[in-house]
Structure 1
Amino acid sequence: MTCFEDNIAHSHIIIALIDGREDALQQLFDRYANDVYRIAYAVLKDSFESEDVVQEVFIKLWNARLRLDETGSIWSFIYVIARRVSLNKLRESRFKIAEQVFTLEADFSKDSDEDTIRKEILALENEVIKKLPGQQRTAYLLSRVEGLTYKEIADQMNIAPNTVKNHIIQALRTFKKYFRRFGYPLFLLFLIWN
């Protein structure tokens, strides 16, 4: 299909969408849902949130259909919605996490039991460390416990500094995944205290 034919096809879909035809929305969803997902995932780094963005974008498109320009670029319109929704979700999630951390810290200081929480976090950390693959565990311990730089760890493990970095990133992803069961505030405290 040529670019001209593609524009005509899109123009017909936009007109059908403006007329309230759900099959036009379905065609646009089929064509652009993966692209919207990629935009959302690039911003959010979370598959569930990104899937929510896809749904929300096409609901917003449907609700805004009467304002569409049949000669305009539908992808540009969808792209702008996808970016806005993704960035709004990112702001919301960061605000929620910050709010949870402040609440959690307030609860800790109110209870004056910070030592107990630290012990709980250390116990969880030790559980995860045992589950890490050998080189990830070694790189993590040398970095976090021994305080060595990536270069020093690389020399000691006889691997490249970028490989050390990758091992530590993977280890932290495992921690994040594990701590997620207990809530992000606990994971954030783990990161702050390490």
Structure 2
Amino acid sequence: MAIRRPKAMKTIWAALGAAAALAAAGSANAAVTVIGGGLAEACSQAAIRGESAPEYEALCTTALESEFLNARDRAGTYVNRGVFKLRRAQYDMAVKDFDLAIRLKPDVGEAYVNRGAAFIGQKRYAESVPQINKGLELGVEEPAKAYYNRALAYEGLEDAKSAYFDYQKALELKPEWSAPREQLVRFTVTKRGG
């Protein structure tokens, strides 16, 4: 991909093996913190820890069925339950939970970012970008994950330049996170006069 710069400079961004890397990379999931004790908080903590086993999803379901939760915590619990489904590649079911969260509380950015991640898993890259953008606009607890996911979507759309910049932003926001650094290694940036 070429970009025109002042003084007739061209920059070319190339991603090597983008399709293979996309499949291997996986998306980053953003959990929602729920406090106050009880099953909803336990569900939240398991999602934050990176758990994926079905029993954690069941914990969220029990919380939704049996606990009195305000709108934010109920929406957050739907997001967290969707994250467990997302981690097990149950994309359609995950999207349903993210949709429920958005209907309850349309300002929870993580619901949009994760819906975008599910769309990436379904190879619906063009649909994922506006979802992730909406999540970033609303604000999320872990924006690095949103930029990482958007980079994956851009790679799926064969927009190497945008993917490169989003991986860089993810690394800038969370320098200790190895995933964006590993993706950036695949890129080659060259400049030539034109």
Q: Shared fold (TM-score greater than 0.5)?
A: no
Structure (1 or 2) with the greater strand fraction: 2
**Larger Rg, first or second structure (1 or 2):** 1
Aligning the two structures, in what range does the TM-score lie when normalised by the shorter sequence? under 0.3
Q: What's the TM-score, normalizing by structure 1?
A: 0.21
Q: What's the TM-score, normalizing by structure 2?
A: 0.21
Q: Which has the higher contact order (CA 8 A, sep 6+)?
A: 2
Structure (1 or 2) with the greater helix fraction: 1
